[in-house]
């Protein structure tokens, strides 16, 4: 009698064929049930190996593959090629998003497998900041109750830097984003200054008012950068603060020093625009840059769904909340702040000399 169970021996054995052969030989001499008792297994197991065994050899006593002999489904070569092509163009997009946006018929798991085999997967460059998830609280706010404004340095993006140097493209991005809808506005300049930030905020405020947005009781939130608060030793509010608060009911708030999570909404779009635009697009002139960034901004506001906001676009959220706001609110072109500054603020006096008005 075998004191150890059959399946225990099978798990521990490096070559189970010999044990099965002994069991089959014993069954041929003494019968199926005596063999089952002797080898501590069931008659069904003994009969299985008796039927598979080929006399004179150990063939038939190996483990068989338990899965189906043929694959149930094959990946469509066209879908595979499309998944590879899209990943090469949109390097930072995930499988779930590409499948949804481009109506691929293969599963997310299959898409990731294709990318893995093609060595197309990469780790994202992540900012080492923790962002609090306050979506449930922010969803209760009214439209444009809080607009976050921040700046982004563009010269640290490897894909953009050579083009920036070659074609003298902007070095800084000014971003404004409504926390509730996710609507964003973009401005670009060669410098990160209080003047540019003030001009940017002024244009955004005028644009929102012209589109029917009520800013009474709203706030614009920024960090404590000098482009917003001026000198750290200033005894009076900066011109940025004065410009914002000149609008009735609108206030300027700054976040606590080092509290980057307070600006999570605008920091998120900074990462997205780096992944979806600056890492992908190529430029040959300043005009081409502004044509493409304007198209991206409109697509972001009107067509791009946001999974964190119920797979809705910013414009869909605005429509649901307030149908009186003009559709023009979502299609403001990207602002070339350097050019606007020269057009609006540089005047000629009676003697023909150029001078710059105070913003």
The whole-angstrom distance between residue 4's C-alpha and the CA centroid of its chain comes to 56
Give the mean model confidence (pLDDT) for residues 46-61: 82
Query: 215 and 249 in contact (C-beta within 8 Å)?
Result: yes
User: pLDDT band for position 70 (50/70/90)?
Assistant: low
Q: What is the DSSP letter of 307?
A: G
pLDDT tens profile 266-324: 888 899 999 999 999 999 999 999 999 999 999 999 999 988 888 899 999 999 999 99
pLDDT tens profile 211-255: 999 999 999 999 989 999 988 787 889 999 999 999 999 999 998
Give the mean model confidence (pLDDT) for residues 151-175: 94
Residues in contact with 27: Cβ distance below 8 Å, sequence separation at least 6, in sequence order: 34, 35, 46, 50
CA distance 87 to 348: 53
What pTM value is reported for the model? 0.67
| Percent composition of the chain: helix, strand, coil (DSSP 3-state, to 5) | 45, 10, 40
Give me the pLDDT at residue 214, please.
93
CA-closest candidate to residue 10, choices 81, 75, 62 = 62
Separation of first and last alpha carbons in the chain: 99
Which H/E stretch holds residue 187?
Answer: strand 184-189
CA distance 35 to 55: 18
Give me the pLDDT at residue 341, please.
87
126 or 257, greater pLDDT: 257
Structural domain boundaries of the chain?
6-52, 77-117, 142-348
Query: 62 and 15 in contact (C-beta within 8 Å)?
Result: no
CA distance 125 to 190: 24
Give me the pLDDT at residue 148, please.
95
Neighbours of 198 (CB within 10 A): 21
What is the CATH number that goes with domain 142-348? 3.30.420.10
Q: Which tokens hold the place of 148?
A: 């976050």
Q: Is the pLDDT of residue 184 over 80?
A: yes
Of the listed ranges 11-25, 67-81, 85-99, the one predicted with least confidence: 67-81
């Amino acid at each position: 009698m075998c004191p150890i169970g059959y399946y225990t021996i099978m798990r521990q054995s490096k070559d189970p064929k010999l044990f099965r052969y002994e069991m089959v030989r014993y069954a041929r001499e003494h019968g199926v049930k005596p063999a089952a008792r002797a080898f501590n297994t069931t008659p069904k197991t003994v009969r299985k190996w008796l039927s598979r065994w080929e006399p004179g050899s150990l063939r038939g006593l190996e483990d068989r593959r338990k899965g189906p002999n043929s694959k149930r489904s094959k990946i469509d070569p066209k879908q595979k090629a499309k998944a590879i092509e899209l990943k090469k163009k949109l390097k930072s997009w995930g499988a779930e998003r590409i499948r949804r946006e481009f109506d691929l018929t293969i599963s997310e798991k299959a898409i990731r497998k294709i990318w893995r085999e093609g060595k197309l997967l990469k780790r994202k460059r992540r900012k080492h900041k923790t962002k609090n998830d306050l979506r449930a609280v922010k969803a209760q706010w009214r439209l444009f109750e809080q607009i976050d404004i921040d700046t982004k340095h563009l010269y640290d993006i490897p894909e953009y830097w050579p083009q920036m140097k070659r074609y003298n493209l902007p070095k800084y991005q000014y971003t404004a984003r409504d926390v509730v809808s996710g609507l964003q506005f973009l401005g670009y300049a060669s410098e990160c200054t209080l003047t540019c930030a003030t001009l940017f905020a002024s244009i955004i405020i005028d644009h929102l008012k012209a589109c029917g947005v009520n800013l009474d009781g709203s706030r614009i939130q920024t960090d404590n950068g000098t482009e917003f608060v001026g000198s750290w030793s200033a005894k009076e509010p900066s011109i940025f603060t004065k410009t914002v608060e000149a609008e009735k009911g609108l206030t300027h708030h700054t976040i606590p020093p080092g509290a980057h999570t307070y600006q999570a909404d605008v920091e998120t779009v900074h990462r997205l625009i780096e992944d979806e635009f600056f890492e992908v697009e190529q430029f040959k002139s300043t005009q081409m840059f502004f044509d493409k960034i304007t198209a991206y901004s409109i697509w972001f506001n009107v067509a791009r769904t946001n999974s964190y906001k119920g797979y809705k676009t910013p414009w869909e959220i605005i429509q649901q909340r307030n149908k009186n706001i003009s559709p023009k609110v979502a299609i403001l072109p990207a602002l070339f702040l350097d050019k606007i500054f020269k057009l609006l603020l540089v005047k000629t006096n009676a003697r023909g000399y150029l001078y710059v008005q105070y913003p």
